[in-house]
Amino acid sequence: MRNAIDQLVGCATPICDATARGEAELVGSAVLINVSGETFLCTANHVIEHNVSSTLYFDGPSQLEILHGDFLISAEHDIAVMKLSEAQAIGFGKYSPLQEYFIGNSVQTEASKIAEFLGFPCSKNRIAHNANKIKGLLQSNADKVIETTSSRVRIYFDKKRNINTKTRQVVQAPDPFGMSGGAMFGVPLNCDTIEGVVKPKLIGISTHDIPSKKEVYGASIAVVLKIIRDGWQVSLPDRLNPTI
């Protein structure tokens, strides 16, 4: 699973603002996807909403660049989506929008039994002094799926007893603050998985964690697809057309 998802992590990108001193500061994560030939930036709505009075930046080719444009949101599900222009998509050249094949539909989302959520924790991406950039260090955590519905994904997450997916050792994970808006990839448990043929799909966008319950919540990818379909009148492939 770790090796398979390593091929897809380029879709995750940091979202930043600037401090009063003009230094870069990470505020959240986001996911780039390509649907029906268009590129979209997806994140948690609270990442945008909590910084409504700030200028947002993305990780451009050589430095942070201002993120221009408007988001369509679902306040109910804490999701925000922006359609990128061709020029903006080029500006995200360091990253690789996730293609349709790797986006899960409702059946694949509900079949997922193990999931990995990834993003940019603030604790690993401290301000680079006198520099217009952050470290850009990505973190991922994997565990069992507690629940999937047409609009929500819940993943077990014990910060103090997390499994390092590369070494398989029990470690303490970084605080997930800053990972909101990141990707949730899921896989089923079936013969292919057991034999090592893992085909992860994007099943959600993470929104918040609840330490007392040892859970990370996210909105199902169907919520994002609904915003894209209804907000921009995009004709989605039948496989990805949400029923919500």
pLDDT at 198 over 90: no
Q: 128-186: per-residue pLDDT in tens?
A: 666 667 788 999 998 999 999 999 999 999 988 776 666 767 788 889 999 999 999 99
Task: Return the structure tokens found at 185.
Answer: 């990839």
Q: Are residues 134 and 144 in the same domain?
A: yes
Q: Given this model, what pLDDT does residue 63 score?
A: 84
List the CATH number of the domain containing 47. Answer: 2.40.10.10
Q: 110-125: per-residue pLDDT in tens?
A: 999 999 999 999 999 8
Angstrom CA distances, 218 to 12, 167, 181, 231, stand at 15, 26, 9, 21
12-31 mean pLDDT = 88
Domain end, chosen from 45, 67, 99, is at: 99
pTM of this structure:
0.93
Asked if residue 8 lies in contact with residue 98, where contact means CB atoms within 8 angstroms, the answer is: yes
**In-domain check, residue 201:** yes
Q: Are residues 106 and 35 in the same domain?
A: no
Q: Are residues 90 and 118 in the same domain?
A: no
Domain end, chosen from 99, 122, 150, is at: 99
Least confident stretch, 162-171, 214-223, 228-237: 162-171
Least confident stretch, 17-21, 87-91, 149-153: 17-21
Q: Are residues 133 and 85 in the same domain?
A: no
Measured in degrees and rounded to the nearest 5, phi and psi for residue 192 equal -60, -45
Domain count along the chain = 2
Q: Given this model, what pLDDT does residue 130 score?
A: 66
Q: Which amino acid is at 196?
A: G
What does pLDDT average to over the chain?
91
CA–CA dist 73, 49 (Å, integer): 10
Q: Are residues 59 and 19 in the same domain?
A: yes
Could you list the residue range(s) of the whole structural domain that residue 187 is in?
100-223
Q: Where are the alpha helices (DSSP H) in the chain?
A: 2-6, 45-49, 86-91, 106-111, 191-194, 221-232
Collapse the DSSP code of 155 into the 3-class scheme (helix H, G, I; strand E, B; otherwise coil) and give the result.
strand
Q: Are residues 117 and 133 in the same domain?
A: yes
**In-domain check, residue 18:** yes
Least confident stretch, 61-65, 101-105, 145-149, 162-166: 162-166
Q: Are residues 43 and 57 in the same domain?
A: yes
Domain end, chosen from 40, 72, 99, is at: 99
Sign of CA dihedral 35, 5, 8, 145: positive
Task: Using a pLDDT cut of 90, give the percent of the chain over it.
Answer: 70
